[in-house]
Chains A and B, each alone.
Chain A
């Protein structure tokens, strides 16, 4: 095998800019959050400055990598590094969700039943003796003193009401988007850029629809169900899991949209070279799998 040179840039301004912007960003985020009850605070300006700098740095950084690739500096080995890198990044994301799913399983299996007096540590019931363990937990153990009791949960409402149940539409939209992004991939592998662009555009559209539906669901929860972050552990796990998932959908949708723009306006990607798109589609499938888990453990079971 002939040896290809591994491209190592001599130096780069991007990482230090990224580090400085993240520094500004987290100072801004911490100060903003610490002064939430102070309407005169300008801390959010720091936050937005940091965020803008960070996004700009990422934009220029990725643009540079794309340029290097198009200039032919990449080698099979370097491309392989990106493949491994993306795979392990997705693994780290899996573990981030694992923490929140772990919390959900723990409270459902142990903490809530114990507070209700069941199980080996049911002694915990002496804290609030009127509390009965149920899931979804609507009545908080302290009877709504510190936390707000919601009117209704987001769980499966029974077959007769399924047509009014948003999550089922979310599921259909997101599962189909995984299929459409796969069709785009198949088209690209055959060298058919038209098919690719069309299916990819449909996928991005589905991503937008999903985010819209999710926003609608949150609006319903806050405005009509009284279900908020303050609704005890059910609200906490519900909003944190679906919230982080929704955030990842936006991220994945943004990645796919960038790929669409690159393909349509800059003519990037062909049947041999398209890892940028593949990485984004892996990420999309990952987001989809997380949703399936959410649908099962947050909504149905």
Chain B
């Protein structure tokens, strides 16, 4: 750890270091962005494989492939890995790659902290996954880890789970501090707040949400730890605590968390629709205000996840109406996207296909969310496959489609190569069909009364479960194609121009493709 400090006059000519050390020691926002994105892809495939285990077991009624105990572990790890390992790191990776370039900054504001934020993740997930091989198995209480399932009845590996959640939270908080500081402090002169690209805006709001709620999650798992090992009674009524308290704390974190997983998507989709409709985005300012409203409302709706738990009537009514209110700013966004496309000269490259699918399918997920927000109706839907269908519609063709759209949209900027358009479109159509075949029938079997989280089900649900499993394997297989397309693009392909897309606007398109290792060492002029 030498303390030699050199001055750097030749940043522009510096390439990255070679070999493994480049990735371990890097402070470069593009390297760290790449690390995040590959990590997220790996987690997506692992979490996806677990989903395949779940769907394979549900292909037919009765127990065929796995034991119920193992099924529960798959269910839990699938949720945790997809939320904390796949979706969130993918958005952080995009933030790393794009925000400094979009605001005209030389790098992230705190480059070393940035490296730490990433490198904590592989260790945290290494520990989480290793719990599969521990005595008593991996966590088996669902990704929401409700007490007392996660306290009194938890396997011993829950301690490792708790500490790995702490580390994931620390990583998220540090990453978010970095994003906020970069946006507040590193914008090029002339880049006013209301001139910022919407992806940057969406991340400013997301980072604020993350810093506000990740510590609350840390508090929740700490209380679990104390209840399990040190005799406290936060979630135990015998000592005056309350298991419902756990749900309140968890969802105070959990509801902003679901917006953390969709707000950056809103930013991405706005850029892509604008580019391929070849029109300026309709209603930029209302987009910003809508995202801010959604973020603020996200703090006062958490208990709509627990309508059936036994809350006072006034609370049920308050949380119902507050939840419905969110439909207003969300509707503003959907209408703005549609209005942007209206009379545009649209072309349908892969990113645009994913973006349009996002608008339609995310809206379906939004509407089923509205149905769930109605208290008396929720008593019927609660803990059925209808809920599973709802949140998979907002997360898979919502968050994950937006991530795929972003990869296709910006990969020419990252690699300097165009992806294979025909294969990209094939990937889109396979995913689009797969996702709908998987999740649309789940609305029906849910409304018909099939409960979620069970490895077995009654015979009348057999047909649509079979269809759903077929769709899931189609969707899963098409992601292997996605991996292939990405690798092919990294290795070669048609050279990309700096602007890449005819309608693309913004600072990141003003630099060469691939973007130089260091961009904007002196700030660009912003018009």
Q: How far is the CA of A63 from the CA of B107 in the complex (A)?
A: 22
* Binary interface encoding of chain A residues 102-134 relative to chain B, with 1 for a CB under 8 A from any of its CBs, else 0: 110011001110010001110010011000000
Name the residue among A1, A27, A63 with the largest chain B CB count within 10 angstroms: A27
The stretch of A14-22, A155-163, A256-264 that contacts the partner chain: A14-22
When the two chains form their complex, are residues A99 and B216 in contact, meaning their CB atoms are under 8 A apart?
A: yes
Task: Assess A103 versus B223: contact at CB under 8 Å? Given A92-B211, A142-B238.
Answer: yes
Beta-carbon contact of B215 and A18 below 8 Å: no
Instruction: Check A95 against B109 for contact (C-beta < 8 Å).
Output: no
- Mask, B97-118, CB within 8 Å of A = 1, is 0000000011101111101100
Residues of B contacting A: mostly: helix
Contact of B177 among A10, A89, A124, A231 (CB under 8 A): A89
Which residues of A have CB within 8 Å of B226? 229, 236, 240
Query: Cβ of B240 and Cβ of A141 under 8 Å apart?
Result: yes
A26 pairs with B1, CB closer than 8 A: no
A30 touches B215 (CB 8 A): no
Q: Which of B281-312 contact A (CB under 8 A)?
A: 310-312
Q: Does A191 contact B (CB under 8 A)?
A: no
Contacting pair A12 B27 (CB below 8 A) = yes
Set of chain B residues within 8 Å of A237, measured between Cβ atoms? 234
Q: Which of B119-127, B356-364, B379-387, B491-499 contacts A (4 or more CB under 8 A)?
A: B119-127
- The answer for the CA separation of A205 and B244 in the assembled complex, in Å, is 43
| Among B50-58, B81-89, B160-168, B477-485, the stretch in contact with A | B160-168
In the complex, what residue of chain A is closest to B8 when comparing beta carbons? A10
What chain A residues lie within 8 Å of B177 (beta carbons)? 85, 88-89, 92
Q: In the complex, A8→B242 CA distance in Å?
A: 49
Q: Mark B224-253, 1 if CB is under 8 A from A, else 0.
A: 011001111110111111101100110010
Interface pair B523/A3, CB less than 8 Å apart: yes
Q: Which of B119, B162, B220, B245 contacts A16 (CB 8 A)?
A: B119
Q: A88-B211, A89-B177 are in contact. Are A232 and B240 (CB under 8 A)?
A: yes
Measured CB to CB, the nearest residue on chain B to A137 is B240
CA distance A228 to B28 in the complex (A): 49
> Which of A66-74, A167-175, A278-286, A293-301 lies at the interface with chain B?
A66-74
> For chain B, which range describes its interface: under 10, 10 to 19, 20 to 34, or 35 or more residues?
35 or more
Task: List A contacts of B236 (CB < 8 A).
Answer: 146
Binds A, one of B178-186, B322-330, B394-402: B178-186
Against B, the Cβ 8 Å flags (1 = close, 0 = not) of A223-245 are 00000111111111101100000
Would you give the shortest CB distance from A61 to chain B, in whole angstroms?
A: 7
Q: Which of A76-84, A182-190, A209-217, A266-274 contacts B (4 or more CB under 8 A)?
A: A76-84
The residue that A100 contacts in the complex, of B112, B115, B219, with Cβ under 8 A, is B219
Instruction: Please measure, in the bound complex, the distance between the C-alpha atom of A300 and the C-alpha atom of B319, giving whole angstroms.
Output: 32
Tell me the bound Cα distance from A60 to B2 in angstroms: 10
A68 and B166 contact, CB distance less than 8 A = no
| Chain B 199-220 interface 0/1 with A at a Cβ cutoff of 8 Å (1 = within) | 0000000000001111110111
Give residues of chain A (25-63) contacting chain B, Cβ–Cβ below 8 Å: 26-27, 29-30, 33-34, 36, 60-61, 63
For the complex, give the distance between the alpha carbons of A228 and B232 in Å. 9
Indicate if A5 sits at the interface (CB-CB under 8 A).
yes
In the complex the two chains form, what is the Cα distance from A16 to B26 in whole Å? 9
Does chain A have a CB within 8 A of B368?
A: no
On chain A, the residues within 8 Å of B163 by CB distance are 26, 29-30
Q: Is the Cβ of B213 less than 8 Å from the Cβ of A13?
A: no
The verdict on A8 contacting B25 (CB below 8 Å), with A147-B231, A232-B239 known, is: no
Interface residue? A96 (CB, 8 A): yes
A11 to B236, CA, bound (A): 49
Give the residues in chain B near A11, CB-CB below 8 Å: 17, 21-22, 25-27
The docked-state distance in angstroms from the alpha carbon of A112 to that of B244 is 12
Residues on B with C-beta less than 8 A from A229 are 226, 230-232
Q: Does A91 contact B (CB under 8 A)?
A: yes
CA distance A63 to B161 in the complex (A): 33
Residues of B within 8 A of A27 (CB): 127, 160
Q: How far is the CA of A233 from the CA of B245 in the complex (A)?
A: 12
B115 contacts A12, C-beta separation under 8 Å: yes
Decide if A6 is an interface residue (CB 8 Å cutoff). Answer: yes
Q: Which residue of B lies closest to A114 (CB)?
A: B242
Please, which residue of chain A has its CB at the minimum distance from the CB of B120? A19
Verify A103–B245 contact, CB threshold 8 A.
yes
> Once the chains are docked, how many angstroms separate the CA of A11 from the CA of B245?
45
Q: What 0/1 readout, one digit per residue, does chain B (140-167) give for beta carbons within 8 Å of chain A?
A: 0000000000000000100110111011
Residues A16 and B211 in contact, CB atoms below 8 Å apart? no
Residue of A nearest to B6 (CB): A10
Which partner residue on chain A sits nearest B236 by CB separation?
A: A146
Residue of A73, A98, A128 with most partner-chain B CB within 10 A: A98
Given contacts A89-B177, A230-B231, contact A99 B240 (CB under 8 A): no
Q: Quick check: is A165 within 8 A (CB to CB) of the other chain? A: no
Q: How far is the CA of A64 from the CA of B162 in the complex (A)?
A: 32
- A11 CA / B109 CA spacing, docked (Å): 14
Q: Which one, B223, B238, B521, contacts A147 given CB within 8 A?
A: B238
A169 to B427, CA, bound (A): 68
- Check: A164 CB closer than 8 A to any chain B CB: no
* Inter-subunit contact B160/A30 (CB<8 Å): yes
Chain A minimum-CB-distance residue to B227: A236
CB <8 Å contact, A15 and B220: no
Contact across chains for A15 and B232 when beta carbons are under 8 A apart: no
A240–chain B nearest beta-carbon distance, Å: 7
Q: Is the CB of A8 within 8 A of B111?
A: yes
Chain B residues with CB below 8 A from A14, complex form: 1, 112, 116
Q: Within the complex, what minimum Cβ distance (angstroms) separates A3 from chain B?
A: 6
B313 at the interface (CB under 8 A from A): yes
* Contact between A60 and B24, CB atoms less than 8 A apart: no
Query: Cβ of A84 and Cβ of B116 under 8 Å apart?
Result: no
In the complex, per-residue mask of B1-31: 1 if CB is within 8 Å of any chain A CB, else 0:
1010101100100100100011011111000
Contact A232 B242 (CB under 8 A): no
- The residue on A at minimum CB distance from B173 is A92
Q: CB < 8 Å: which of A5, A33, A88, A124 contacts B181?
A: A88
| A99 and B313 in contact, given A22-B167, A141-B240 (Cβ under 8 angstroms) | no
A68 nearest in chain B by CB position: B5
Task: Find out whether the CB atom of B211 lies under 8 angstroms from the CB atom of A95.
Answer: yes
A232 touching B233, Cβ below 8 Å: yes
- The yes or no answer to B345 lying at the interface (CB within 8 A) is no
Asked if B112 and A15 sit within 8 Å, CB to CB, the answer is yes
Establish whether residues B215 and A93, one from each chain, have CB atoms under 8 Å apart when the complex forms. yes
B522 within 8 A of A: yes
Q: Is the CB of A8 within 8 A of B212?
A: no
| CB contact between A140 and one of B27, B112, B233, B252 (< 8 Å): that residue | B233
List B contacts of A85 (CB < 8 A): 109-110, 113, 177-178, 181
Q: Does A218 contact B (CB under 8 A)?
A: no
Interface residues of B in 59-107 (CB under 8 A from A): 105-107
Determine whether the beta carbon of A95 is less than 8 Å from that of B115. no
* 3 tightest A-B CB contacts, nearest first: A99-B219, A233-B240, A236-B232
Residues of B within 8 A of A (CB): 1, 3, 5, 7-8, 11, 14, 17, 21-22, 24-28, 105-107, 109-113, 115-116, 119-120, 123, 126-127, 156, 159-160, 162-164, 166-167, 170, 173, 176-178, 180-181, 184-186, 189, 211-216, 218-220, 222-223, 225-226, 229-234, 236-242, 244-245, 248-249, 252, 310-313, 521-523
Listed by A's residue number, 11 A-B pairs whose Cβ atoms lie within 8 Å are A5-B8, A8-B28, A11-B25, A12-B115, A14-B1, A30-B162, A85-B109, A85-B113, A95-B212, A98-B215, A99-B220
